[in-house]
Amino acid sequence: MKKRTAGRKALYVILVVYAIITVIPFLWALSSSFKTLGEIVSGSINFIPKEFTLDNYKQIFTREPLFGRWLFNSLFIATVGTLLNLLFNSMAGYALARLSFPGKKSIFLMILAVLMIPFQVTLIPNFLILKELGWLNSYQGMIIPGAVNATFIFMMRQFFINFPKEVEEAAAIDGLGRFGTFFRIVLPLAKPALAAQTIFVFMAFWNDFMRPLIILSDQDMFTLPLGLNSFKGQFISFWNYIMAASMVFTLPIIVLYAFFNRYFVKGIKFTGDK
């Protein structure tokens, strides 16, 4: 028994130390966002601001009237993009896991191969294709090329491979066709996997920097990372503003995560679901 508690203590030490390591950068950024420029420049190290101020947050919203618009663009692109991903990736993953058809193996290998191509390879050709479609500087230009994600096709395939066949067979007996089974039975049962995907895909859209930088040219069309960057450009030494903007930028994702957290770990399964 004693040994057990000693082991537990050791585990707690690991967990707490690592939690501190994880949290400190955020606390430091948060604390900097409440400091005055004078305190930032003086280079003193203290987590509690000597002169607590909310001015940095006020400034970023008043000095940047487009902030709300950027927030909307980011939310819109990320939300629609995520919905499309959920649908398309699940369908593809399901087909690769459950249905047999000629060429399945090569299609699967192709999708795996797509994962390995650095996106810089396709960046310029992609850009030229969007130009031909007239989709530059548009929402669809941001959403459609990212509406499918090879990683999550792969993940959904793993999920469906371990999905109990009996459920589908029962559905088939009830007279549901393949698509009915998929949309009415399979997808609802795949909620945990979809929740995990939601967070990852939403994050990918939300945080994407390189693609919007190239595709979007109107300030009205900017997403938040571009906005943050333009903000950084304007206030190079104003770490207090930069940190405040960084915090505002991070908040929505944390809220989303808190919301989906309950499904989260359950969703990322590679070896079966119970």
Partner 1 sequence: MRHTKWLSAIGVPSLVLATVLSGCGNDNGKEETQSGKTEIVLSGWGGNPTEKKLLNEVLSDFEKEHPHIDVKLNTISDQYMDVLKTRLIGGTAADVFYLDAFEAPALIETGAVEPLNKYVTKEFDLADFEKPMLDAFKEGEKLYGLPKDYSTLALFYNKKMFKEAGIKEPPKTWEEMEAVAKKLTDQKKQVYGLGMLPQIERMYYMAESQDGQVITDGRATFADDKVVDAIQPVVDMHIKDKTAATPSEVGAGQSAGEMFGRGNAAMVMEGNWNIPFLEDTFPELDYGTAELPTVNGKKGTMSFAVGYAMNAESEHKKESWELIEYLTGKEGMKKWTSKGFALPTRKSVATELGFDQDELRGPLVSGAEYATVWQDGPTLPIVMNNFNNQFLSAYLGDRPLKEALKDAERQANREIKVTE
Partner 2 sequence: MKMLSKKDRREAGQGYLFLLPALLVLGVFVIAPILYAVFLSFHKVELIGGATYEFRGLDNFMKVTFDDRAIIALKNTAIYVAIVVPTQTFLALVLAASLNAGLKGQKFFRIVYFLPTLTSSAVLTLIFMWMYNQNGLINYVLKFLNLPTYNWIGDPDVALIAIMIMNIWATAPFFMVIYLAALQDIPDSHYEAAELDGAGPIQKFWHITVPNLRPVTSFVVIMGLIGTFQLFDQSYIFSGGSGGPNNSTLTVVLLIYQYAFKTLGTMGYATAIAFMLAIIILVATLLQRKFSKEESLY
Residue number with CB closer to partner 2 (206 or 221)? 206
- 11 binding partner 2? (CB under 8 A): yes
**Residue 81 or 192 with smaller CB distance to partner 1:** 81
Which residue has tokens 């503003």? Answer: 241
Q: Of partner 2, partner 1, none, which one does residue 9 interact with (CB within 5 to 8 Å by kind)? A: none
Q: Which does 212 bind (CB under 5 to 8 A by kind): partner 1, partner 2, none?
A: none
Q: Return the amino acid letter for 34.
A: F
φ and ψ at 182, to 5 degrees?
-60, -50
Residue 186 has a CB neighbour count (10 Å cut-off) of 19
Whose structure tokens read 């390995």? 116
Number of residues that bind partner 1 (CB under 8 A): 43
Alpha helices in 99-190 (DSSP H): 104-116, 119-133, 139-143, 150-161, 165-173, 178-180, 187-189
Q: Which does 180 bind (CB under 5 to 8 A by kind): partner 1, partner 2, none?
A: partner 1
Q: Is 272 in the site for partner 2 (CB under 8 A)?
A: yes
Residues 196-225 that bind partner 2 (CB under 8 A): 203, 206-207, 209-210, 225
Q: Binding to partner 2 (CB under 8 A): which residues in 228-257?
A: 228-229, 232, 239, 242-243, 246, 249-250, 253-254, 257
Total number of residues shown for the chain: 274
Q: What does the alpha-carbon distance between residue 231 and residue 227 come to, in Å, rounded to a whole number?
A: 6
80 binds partner 1 (CB under 8 A): yes
Applying the rule CB under 8 A, the residues between 178 and 197 that interact with partner 2 are 178-179, 182
| 182 touching partner 1, by CB under 8 A | yes
Nearer to partner 2, 59 or 151 (CB): 151
Rounded to an integer, what distance in angstroms lies between the CA atom of residue 135 and that of residue 211? 13
Q: Do 73 and 221 contact (CB within 8 A), yes or no?
A: yes
Q: Which of 53, 161, 180, 250 binds partner 1 (CB under 8 A)?
A: 180
Amino acid at 120: Q
Contact 82/203 with Cβ under 8 angstroms? no
Q: What are phi and psi of 51, to 5 degrees?
A: -130, 95
Round to whole Å and give the CA distance between 232 and 237: 9
Q: Contact between 83 and partner 1 (CB under 8 A)?
A: yes
Q: What Rg value do the Cα atoms of the chain yield, rounded?
A: 23
Under the binding rule (CB under 8 A), the answer on residue 88 touching partner 1 is yes
Q: Take residue 92 and report the two structure tokens written for it.
A: 């593809």
CB of 258 to partner 1, least distance (A): 27
What x/- string results for residues 102 through 131 when contact with partner 1 is judged by CB under 8 A?
----------------------x--xx-xx
Binding mask 89-108 for partner 2 (x = CB under 8 A): x-xx-xxx--xxxx-x--x-
Instruction: Indicate if the alpha-carbon torsion angle 24, 28, 29, 30 is positive or negative.
Output: positive
The residue ranges that bind partner 1 (CB under 8 A) are 37, 41, 43, 63, 80, 83-84, 87-88, 91, 124, 127-128, 130-131, 136-140, 143-144, 177, 179-180, 182-183, 213-214, 217-219, 221, 229-238
